[in-house]
């Protein structure tokens, strides 16, 4: 009974117009002469949105990866190595995405039969093992020195539009998937794997598909991010990058299109707010600078815990419930 009603709620086609409209309003920002740091910060925000969206797609199929940074890093390293060695621009992005998708299939194969907590550990473990390999294979990855990644675009404004396009692209792809039969299958698997199997859904195939698409997108984004940051080292596989999309998506709303946008916006909002009040905080007590950067993750952690306890589906479904009361 409960499962069926859950299914119905989740089968509502997610709205894509609102997020895309919202992102479209960001189009002219660099033209208005905002400080270019603001443009830079927004570019990072787009990265957060698109990267979290790719994680969210996987979560939509009921698989919560705790090591999504692995795909980000594989994408980044592939394009870095390829572009440095061949000096062919742009192609690296695609190669990175494909390498990452391939890794996604591998990890997915390991994970299809696993329970939630095992899946979390295996994905996390995968990214930690990659750190060790990256550090050891220095002839390929530059080892602990990292790699300086050649630039693709001349300025931050260009990267801003690139990242924006990538974000809209990811969201649109995810929207198309969620709207299709595949999306339906993902949701069915998430809600009840046995029932899904009983209705004739090829669970293994769809779970793998979710992993592949999600890893492809994460790899693509990671590759572009590496060019944007102009440097890559093994910290890209770190827990920070792995946990980031989880926090953002869970706060915003797991399995929703607009969830990562809400989550990223909230994160950016908090961090910019703290940045602006920093001078005042420092005037009160200069020692604060030593702990100031911990306040942002602390606040995010508190919000995350509060969201899970008070509105377990995230902010976005909660908002929907208010804005669109049941008829």
Partner 1 sequence: MPLEISLSTLVQIVIWGLINGCIYVLLASGLNLIFGVMKVVNFAHGEFMILGGYVSYWVSIYAGLNPYFSIFVSIGVIGIVGVLTERVCFRRVLGTSKLNEIVLSLGLIYVLQNAMSVLWTDKERQISSPFEFITVHFEIININMRLDLLIVIGVTVLIMAGFYILIKRTKIGRAIRATSQNRSAAMLMGINVEYMDMFSFGLGTALAATAGTLLAILFPALYPQAGAMPALKAFTIIVLGGLGSTIGAIVGGLAYGLAESSAIAILGGTWRDAIAFAILILVLVIRPTGLFGEKEA
Partner 2 sequence: MKKRTQLILAVAIIAIIAVSIAAYYYLTVPPERTIKIGLVASLTGPGSAEGADMQRAAILAVEEINAAGGVYVSEYGRNLTVTLEIGDDKTKPADGVIAVEELIKSKNVDVLVGGLSSSVTLASQVPAIDNNVPFVITGASTPQVTRRTDKNTSYMFHYCTIIDDYSETIVKFLNHTVRPTLIDEGRMDPERNLRLAMLVRNDAYGIGCYDTTVRFINDLGLPIEIVEYQKFEPGATDFTTQLTLIQAAKPDAVYHAGLTAESSNLVKQGLQNVGLKTIYIAVEVCQTPQFYEILGSWGDYQILESKFGSKAASYSDAVDTYIANYMQRWKDAQGNPIIPGMMGADTYDAIYLICKAIENAGTLDKAKIRDEIENIEMDQMLIMMKNGMIWFDQNHEIDPISFIEQMTWNSTTSQLTTYIVYPDSLKQRDFELPPDYENEYS
Is 117 a binder of partner 1 (CB under 8 A)? yes
Query: Which of 185, 250, 257, 261 is the binder for partner 1 (CB under 8 A)?
Result: 250
Q: Are 220 and 51 in contact (CB under 8 A)?
A: no
From residue 307 to residue 326, the character string flagging contacts with partner 2 as x (rule: CB under 8 A) and all else as - is: ------------x--xx---
Question: Where do we find the tokens 């769809």?
Answer: 206
Q: Which pairs from 106-113 meet CB under 8 Å and 24+ separation?
A: 107/65, 107/70, 107/211, 107/215, 108/207, 108/208, 108/210, 108/211, 108/212, 108/215, 109/208, 111/63, 111/207, 111/211, 112/203, 112/204, 112/207, 112/208
Radius of gyration, alpha carbons of the chain = 20
Please give the Cα distance from 219 to 212 (Å, whole number).
Answer: 10
Site for partner 1 in 207-236 (CB under 8 A): none
Strand, helix or coil for residue 255? coil
Query: Which of 290, 322, 323, 327 is the binder for partner 1 (CB under 8 A)?
Result: 290
Question: Where do we find the tokens 């990072």?
Answer: 44
Query: Which of 127, 233, 242, 256 is the binder for partner 2 (CB under 8 A)?
Result: 233
Q: Which of these ranges, 194-202, 226-234, 298-306, 307-315, lies near partner 2 under the rule CB under 8 A?
A: 226-234
Partner from partner 1, partner 2, none contacting 272, C-beta within 5 to 8 A by type: partner 2
**Beta bridge pairs of residue 148:** 231
Residue placing its CB nearer to partner 1 in the complex, 8 or 327: 8
Site for partner 1 in 44-73 (CB under 8 A): 59, 62, 64, 66
Partner from partner 2, partner 1, none contacting 235, C-beta within 5 to 8 A by type: partner 2
How many residues of this chain bind partner 1 (CB under 8 A)?
44
CA dihedral for 295, 300, 301, 302, sign (positive or negative): positive
Residue placing its CB nearer to partner 1 in the complex, 181 or 312: 312
Q: Are 310 and 317 in contact (CB under 8 A)?
A: no
* Beta carbons within 8 Å of 49's beta carbon, 6+ residues apart: 167, 171, 248, 260, 261, 264
Structure tokens, 269? 């909002």
Is 22 a binder of partner 2 (CB under 8 A)? no
Residue placing its CB nearer to partner 1 in the complex, 223 or 307: 307
Is 28 a binder of partner 2 (CB under 8 A)? no
Is 146 a binder of partner 1 (CB under 8 A)? no
Helix (H) / strand (E) containing 148 = strand 147-148
Structure tokens, 237? 């596989």
Structure tokens, 19? 């997020």
Site for partner 2 in 94-153 (CB under 8 A): 135, 143-146, 148, 150
Which residues are at the interface with partner 2 (CB under 8 A)?
Answer: 32-38, 40-41, 44, 135, 143-146, 148, 150, 229-231, 233, 235, 240, 269, 272-273, 275-276, 289-294, 319, 322-323
Which residues are at the interface with partner 1 (CB under 8 A)?
Answer: 59, 62, 64, 66, 110, 113-118, 120-122, 124-126, 128-129, 131-133, 135-136, 239, 243, 246-247, 250, 254, 290-291, 294-295, 297-298, 300-302, 304-305, 308-309, 312
């Amino acid at each position: 009974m409960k499962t069926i009603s859950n299914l119905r709620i989740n089968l509502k086609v997610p709205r894509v117009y609102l997020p895309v409209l919202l992102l479209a309003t960001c189009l002219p920002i660099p033209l208005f002469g905002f400080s270019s740091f603001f443009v830079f910060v927004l570019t990072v925000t787009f990265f957060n949105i698109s990267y979290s969206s790719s994680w969210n797609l996987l979560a939509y199929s009921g698989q919560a990866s705790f090591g999504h940074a692995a795909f980000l890093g594989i994408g980044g390293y592939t394009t870095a190595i390829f572009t440095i060695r061949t000096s062919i621009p742009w192609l690296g992005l695609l190669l990175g995405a494909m390498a990452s998708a391939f890794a996604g299939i591998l990890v997915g194969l390991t994970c299809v039969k696993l329970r939630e907590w095992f899946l979390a550990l295996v994905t996390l473990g995968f990214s930690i093992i990659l750190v060790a390999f990256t550090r050891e294979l220095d002839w390929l990855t530059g080892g602990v020195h990292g790699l300086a990644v050649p630039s693709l675009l001349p300025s931050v404004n260009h990267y801003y539009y690139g990242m924006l396009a990538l974000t809209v692209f990811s969201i649109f792809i995810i929207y198309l998937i969620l709207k299709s039969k595949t999306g339906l299958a993902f949701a069915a698997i998430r809600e009840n794997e046995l029932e899904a199997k009983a209705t004739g859904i090829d669970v293994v195939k769809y779970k793998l598909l979710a992993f592949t698409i999600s890893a492809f997108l994460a790899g693509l984004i990671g590759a572009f991010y590496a060019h944007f940051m102009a440097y890559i080292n093994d910290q890209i596989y770190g827990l920070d990058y792995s946990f980031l999309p989880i926090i953002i998506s869970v706060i915003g709303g797991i399995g929703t299109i607009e969830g990562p946008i809400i989550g990223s916006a909230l994160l950016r909002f908090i961090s910019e707010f703290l940045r602006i009040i920093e001078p005042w905080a420092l005037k009160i007590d200069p020692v604060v600078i030593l702990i100031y950067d911990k306040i942002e993750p602390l606040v995010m952690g508190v919000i995350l815990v509060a969201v899970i306890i008070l509105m377990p589906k995230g902010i976005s479904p909660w908002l929907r419930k208010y804005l669109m009361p049941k008829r």
